Structure 1
Amino acid sequence: MMKKGSMKLGLVLILCMGLLLSACSSNNNGSGSDKGNNGSGNAVNEGNSAETPKENVKISFMGHGSPQEKEIFAKLIKAYETKYSNVKVEYTSVPPAEYNQKLSTLVASGKTPDVFYVSGPQFYKFAEAGTIQNLQPFLETTELFQEGNVWKQALDRYRYDGKLLGQGDIYGLPKDVGPWTMAYNKTMFEEAGVELPPAEVGGWDWNDWIEAAKKLTKDENGDGKTDIYGGANFPLEGAVWASGGDFIDYATGTIKIDQPEFYNAMQWVADLRLKHNITPSPEDEKAMNAYSRFVAGKVGMFPMGPWDQPGFWDLPFEWDIAAWPVNPGTGQASTWLGSMGYAVSCKSKHAQEAFNLAAYLALDAEGQKQNYELGQAVPNLVDMAKGEFLEMDKAPANRQVFLDVIEKYGHPPVEFGSKDTKWIDTMWQEAGKVWDGKMTAEAWAKELAPKLQELYDKGNK
């Protein structure tokens, strides 16, 4: 007969083996059972330099972005390596258009970076498949994480309960929370004698936006062609949401583009060019995209994210940001609120150090301060965003607009909630028929809706 002591020891060993085997499993239900480790079997340590293991380690980090972003992250990583002197980070920046394919190839070949950028659809797939660490156990043991001081709108993007996004444990940390605001050429407005757009939401509506754009639109050389446009890239998403419509109801998986709230908003956006000629045509965009036009002083109003700041700081004209105009029929404004996240690979041999890097970039006050001072993002830390960030002496002056979008009328991008985005890609590819005036938005939407429904069902249900 086995002694009681031996029986207890056996049970302990069985439980330990079970925990090891369950770590990062694809069947994880978000309960926090996949405790992180540092590659040597040790328990998760406090996410600060005093608790970091002393052996020298190397971890890999992969992201993407503009040359300015690459330069900014090189500085942030150097600061991390100073704080965690035993860790060296191998940083790879991939061109944005190549990033998703590159990451998928590395994951499939078992060479997943220790830390990497992850967005909505990929995050959903990776969390479901067990490709990324459940970070909840790490967060529970680090002083860096004060949940009430991190934007809820950002954290919720990286929650997963085993079935749905937006609830459950945290599987990623926000690289940023990206309020899509409206930049405007202040110098152009003043020279044209046009009233500056308001910073407070509700201070103007779509009709006011059109009237301002008309006054800014010019044919400078009299050749019959528009040289300066009043606005560019008014986002369809914001127009639809402000109208009370949506692209899809994720709760039921129902495509909604064939509803009047959607197609009327889409027609309004299309008519900014087709009817009013105050925004560039698709052909104009091919010759010079809207971003290039804005920095060249050829567009009066243009949507921007916080990451655009470094490229705008050296512009030869004054600029600022304004609230999005409201739909006069609903009294509502909306725009998309983006976010990119940091994920930690389940195959990382140095999960603690990898988490420390993600936490430094996402949560550490020093890292967040450098991030906003370099013009990369709004701080993830709420007190910093509402304090010193607003007091920064660089443009835009109306920094509060960034925070208003986050707190009042920002909306997750359309793809948040989809694992397969073929239906979205198809929608944007087909939208040219409306932008070109070949089809009305209503006819287009009613024709395309069944096809998009079929694509969504095939890839997501």
Structure 2
Amino acid sequence: MKINKKVMNAAAFTVIVGLLAGCGSNTVNPSNGASPDGGKSPAGEVKLKMTVLPDDLDEFQAAYEEFQKENPNIKVEFETIPQKQYYDKLRLQLSSGEAIDLFGGNMDSFLDTGILEELDDYIKQSNTDVSGFGPLYDTLKVNGKVYGLPYRKSNWMLYYNKTLFDQAGVDYPKADMTWDEFRELAQKMTKGSGADKIYGAYLQQWPQTWYMQAVQSGASIIDKDLTPFHKALQLRVDMEKDGSIMTWSEQVTTSAHYNSAFQKGNVAMNLIGDWHIAQLRKAEDEGKISFDWDVVPIPHPEGVPANTSLATPVSVMINKNSKHKEEAYKVLEFMTGPKGAKVFAANGLLTGFTNEEIKQAYIGDGSRKPENIHYFLEQKEYPEYPLLPGVKNIVVNTIFTQEGELALSGEQTVDKAIERISDRVQKEWADKFGKDFAAK
């Protein structure tokens, strides 16, 4: 999701070449001489293989350089897989017994494979400091066990085009703004038509951009009572009718995307995650943006505190079939702990572990936008969805997406959409996974 802003080094270039060639998996060989055998060299060096998301490869390599200073005997060979194939391909590799020691990603995508090593004993024996994860640590537990620790997380923010607001003579979005106020502001900033139209806001096609206000209030997408989600979907439908946001149908037919739409300069407010900062900074470096921009917290429901956001942790996990679990845990502990987090934060990632030093690394020296980046570090967070098997693929990507799109395209009412979502969640997810897994 994040777009890397750095000039590619030779290793990263090797990965890109592999992607263009249509490879399903790509290997990056660090200069330390790690080899893919996953064993110990004659000198006693332990060699590990680690698969990471392609957008996070540079950051892992940077953190690994620091790790090597303290652990010269542990050599890590990084691999990556194209984003669209990542989870399906990695699940297949793990189930087929490929010698992968560690891997990164959304933990819920692997819980049903039985391939994850339980980490509780390692955390206890190593006296791992988990305080920096805050409440996020407990939300990661499944059936009382920890199977991964987050090296980063994705939180949401409202990005806005300051230049458009200045030209319109309208006050900037407030840091404490309800969803109804957001709708009113979007209407006020909408003007023109056709290719010259200024949209008051942009909401990506994803169901998260409409169901988030229900989650902000503490509701879960697998609740039996989905009443809070009715109001959330209705707001999206109403804003399309207002003309203040691009309709879902137009987004689909024009292949619209939040990043290019906002960078074009005719969208006043863009509701999207923290990774958008890197995308906008990259565009600025390339001279593609000619307007000023900043961020404020996403709108919130009435009665919910300002700057309440959704958070999706992205974790490092260990293959239970690894032959070098202790060494693999050292890598995991470093990457997700304070030392690794400092490296990730300095490269623009919102980390799972945080402390004052990491916060300062994330904020930087103030020379880059957004001016109000500090809001990311002050958020109250709710998990975007429970980290349980099938929730992302079945509930989010299938049920909420399909039924929400039918409502947005006018093929069914909001009432019917929520009714069908509730029914399908129980039949397609709860009956399959609900009895075997429980959060916390």
TM-score range, shorter chain: 0.7 to 0.9
What is the Cα deviation at residue 415 of structure 1? 4.5
Aligned 8 A contact 2:158 2:295 in 1: yes
Aligned 8 A contact 1:309 1:376 in 2: no
**Aligned pairs (5 A) from 1:355-434:** 355-365=329-339, 367-378=340-351, 380-390=353-363, 392-393=365-366, 394-405=368-379, 408=380, 410-419=381-390, 421-424=393-396, 425-434=398-407
Matching residue of 1:191: 167
Secondary structure in 2 aligned to 1:340?
strand
Q: Residue by residue, what CA displacement relative to the aligned partner does 1:108-151 show, whole Å, maximum 9, x if unpaired?
A: 1111521112424224325xx3x2222233323446x3232x12
**Aligned pairs (5 A) from 1:335-350:** 335-350=309-324
What is the Cα deviation at residue 371 of structure 1? 1.0
Matching residue of 2:201: 231
CA distance 1:174–1:379, change in 2 (3 Å):
closer
Query: CA–CA distance in 2 between the matches of 1:206 and 1:376?
Result: 27
Query: CA–CA distance in 1 between the matches of 2:73 and 2:107?
Result: 33
Query: CA–CA distance in 1 between the matches of 2:237 and 2:406?
Result: 10
Please, what TM-score do these two structures have when normalized by structure 2?
Answer: 0.78
Larger radius of gyration: 1
> What amino acid does structure 1 have at the position aligned with 2:242?
H
**Aligned pairs (5 A) from 1:257-336:** 257=226, 259=227, 261-273=228-240, 275-286=241-252, 287=254, 288-314=256-282, 315=284, 316=289, 317-328=291-302, 330-331=303-304, 334-336=308-310
Matching residue of 2:45: 56
Aligned 8 A contact 1:243 1:332 in 2: no
Please, what TM-score do these two structures have when normalized by structure 1?
Answer: 0.74
Matching residue of 1:14: none
Gaps of 5+ in 1: 1-37, 41-52
Matching residue of 2:12: none
Matching residue of 1:139: 123
Aligned 8 A contact 1:116 1:343 in 2: yes
Report how many residues are paired: 380
Aligned 8 A contact 1:231 1:301 in 2: yes
Matching residue of 2:78: 91
Matching residue of 1:4: none
Q: Which runs of 4+ in 1 moved over 6 A?
A: none
Matching residue of 1:158: 140
Query: What percentage of residue pairs aligned between the two structures are identical?
Result: 23
Q: Residue by residue, what CA displacement relative to the aligned partner does 1:138-188 show, whole Å, maximum 9, x if unpaired?
A: 323446x3232x12233224323xxx2xxx343211121322222222222
Aligned 8 A contact 2:233 2:404 in 1: no
Q: Residue by residue, what CA displacement relative to the aligned partner does 1:245-303 show, whole Å, maximum 9, x if unpaired?
A: 54323xxxx3x33x3x3212211122111x21111122432322122211232322223
Q: Residue by residue, what CA displacement relative to the aligned partner does 1:401-453 show, whole Å, maximum 9, x if unpaired?
A: 21232xx2x21122433445424312312211111223221122224432332
Secondary structure in 2 aligned to 1:229?
coil
Correspondent of 1:124 among 108, 111, 114: 111
